[in-house]
Amino acid sequence: MKRIFKVLVFALFATSVFAQSPNKMSYQAVIRNSENKLVVNKQVGMQISILQGSASGSVVYMETHNSTTNSNGLVSVIIGNGSTSYNFSEIDWASSIYFIKTEIDPNGGNNYTITSISQLLSVPYALHSKTAERVTGTINETDPLFLAWSKDYNDLTNKPTLFSGSYNDLQDKPSIFSGSYIDLTNKPTNATKMKDGFMSHTDKKKLDNMKTFSGSYNDLSDKPINATNFTDGFMSSEDKAKLNSLRKTDGSETKIRAGENVTITGKGTVDNPYEVTASGKLSVPRVNQVDRDKLSVTEGMIVYNMTTHKPNYYNGTEWMNYDGSSAKTPKIGDVYHGGEVAYIFKEGDDEHIEGEIHGIIICELKGSSDWNYAKKWCNNLSHGSYTDWFLPNMKELKQIGGYLKSKNKDKWYWSSEEKDDSSAKTYNPVKGQEGSWWKDTNRDIIAIRKF
């Protein structure tokens, strides 16, 4: 079925503050489908033509683009930057009226099914005024004040005061340290008087008041209990009794539950240790991490975690890996894998995997910088033994935005997405707003990694 799309077009003509006009025009279009819904985050093919004289006039310029709509269905291009065999600077804007013709392929190719023609009611004067760059003939100055001036700089009035180039003539010079210890502030308190190489009585008294430890082992507190008597290299019965009194546990208080086809004998003591005997095949439940967390658990329960591919056991408080590390499921706000968990992927997210726990971890260490340095800093970051950090795109900034808002992070964070050649996109999680800034300005940085 052939789809019908609607296009809302904006052509922006901006004068330049530079001596030369840029020979370019900004162009924007909003694309909607037959249900009047925005066509968002999709690549479209575009052909733009400048027609002279009328809506069906001759083509004086033509170029093509492949660009992507944003989350508002808006596509932005620079006329003059596209693929073309024409010369944009050769258009004689003063000679006629002009129309702009746009043709769009919503599938990103060159099968253009959408056509829009509109008159350029406001001539791009920044381009038309390029004629002022070329002056012919002779300029005859008739201003009597100019004619009366000697053309000598020294005869000017209200000349600026020029800097002599001498450091001494600078205003608001910094105070420079003399290099003398005496001129230091907040010097440490030292012994003030020495006689013949010995400390004065006053300073000795100060030092004695600071002396709290006698230096004797006998004056130590909380000394370890050592064996006091050895006979022929063996501990005495007296010290063996002391050592045995320090043993508060012998394993007999440990609770062990047997599973199917398993029997346990013994008391867990040195003299009567536990013995575990299994008959037949011992089966351990295999579950993913989401289903594991739904189990009714008891201390000593063992499962094989299909998400992490590791055996887990429940120690009465939380799930553990057999290497002694925690196997609990991370939650938003937890310190985990080098940073803070700021988002857990849910159903509907591209990264969501049924039965598994994945999400985004954030690290905010740097502060603010320009856009190019922000990308470099994130890509080179090594934190918490992880090196796979990167600058988030707009989608990822919005995903972690809820957590940042809960922390009242009222900042404009750089995204990895460019708006155009000179600016990049930003996001404020507290305001919930998108924005853009020049790439050479300072905005805040947050690095992310995924787990």
Q: Does the pTM of the predicted model rise above 0.85?
A: no
Answer yes or no: is pLDDT of 168 > 50. Answer: yes
What is the average per-residue pLDDT within 111-122? 84
In CATH terms, 6-133 corresponds, of 2.40.50, 3.90.1720, 3.40.1350, 2.60.40, to 2.60.40
The DSSP line for 309-369 is TEEEEE-SSSEEETTS-B-PPP-TT-EETTEEEEEE--TTSTT--TT---EEEEE--S-EE
d(CA 70, CA 417): 11
Look over the chain and give the mean of its residue pLDDT values, rounded to a whole number. 81
Answer yes or no: is pLDDT of 147 > 90. Answer: no
Tokens of 29: 């279009």
Share of residues in the chain with pLDDT > 70 (%): 76
Nearest to 12 by CA among 157, 124, 136, 145: 124
Answer yes or no: is pLDDT of 193 > 70. Answer: no
Task: Return the top range by mean pLDDT from 126-140, 289-303, 391-405.
Answer: 391-405
Answer yes or no: is pLDDT of 442 > 80. Answer: yes
More confident residue, 324 or 62: 62
Tokens of 186: 């907040």
Answer yes or no: is pLDDT of 117 > 50. Answer: yes
18 pLDDT band, cuts 50/70/90, is very low
1 pLDDT band, cuts 50/70/90, is very low
**91 and 60 Cβ atoms separated by less than 8 Å:** yes
Write the pLDDT tens digit of every residue in 34-59: 788 888 999 999 999 999 999 999 99
* Ramachandran quadrant class, 335 (left: phi over 0; alpha: psi -120 to 50; beta: rest): beta
Confidence at residue 212, expressed as pLDDT on a 0 to 100 scale: 63
Nearest to 61 by CA among 53, 49, 52: 49
Answer yes or no: is pLDDT of 19 > 50. Answer: no
4 pLDDT band, cuts 50/70/90, is very low
What is the average per-residue pLDDT within 306-313? 89
**Unique residue bearing structure tokens 């690549």:** 43
Q: What 3-state class would DSSP assign to 401?
A: helix
Confidence at residue 300, expressed as pLDDT on a 0 to 100 scale: 87
Tokens of 172: 């608001």
Answer yes or no: is pLDDT of 225 > 80. Answer: no
More confident residue, 125 or 19: 125
What is the average per-residue pLDDT within 183-187? 77
Centre a 10 Å sphere on the Cβ of residue 202 and count the other Cβ atoms it contains: 10
More confident residue, 17 or 81: 81
Nearest to 227 by CA among 216, 244, 243: 243
More confident residue, 161 or 227: 161
Share of residues in the chain with pLDDT > 90 (%): 39
Confidence at residue 86, expressed as pLDDT on a 0 to 100 scale: 94
d(CA 77, CA 27): 5
Task: Return the top range by mean pLDDT from 103-112, 145-154, 231-240, 396-405.
Answer: 396-405
Write the pLDDT tens digit of every residue in 328-346: 889 999 998 899 999 999 9
What is the average per-residue pLDDT within 187-214? 62
Confidence at residue 329, expressed as pLDDT on a 0 to 100 scale: 87
Confidence at residue 11, expressed as pLDDT on a 0 to 100 scale: 43
Write the pLDDT tens digit of every residue in 258-287: 666 667 787 777 778 777 676 666 578 899
Confidence at residue 3, expressed as pLDDT on a 0 to 100 scale: 47
Query: Which CATH architecture is the domain 361-450 placed in?
Result: Roll (3.10)
Confidence at residue 189, expressed as pLDDT on a 0 to 100 scale: 59
The domain spans of the chain are: 6-133, 361-450
Answer yes or no: is pLDDT of 10 > 70. Answer: no
Low-confidence winner among 125-129, 403-407, 410-414 (lowest mean pLDDT): 125-129
Write the pLDDT tens digit of every residue in 198-207: 666 676 676 6
Confidence at residue 342, expressed as pLDDT on a 0 to 100 scale: 96
Confidence at residue 247, expressed as pLDDT on a 0 to 100 scale: 58
d(CA 442, CA 426): 11
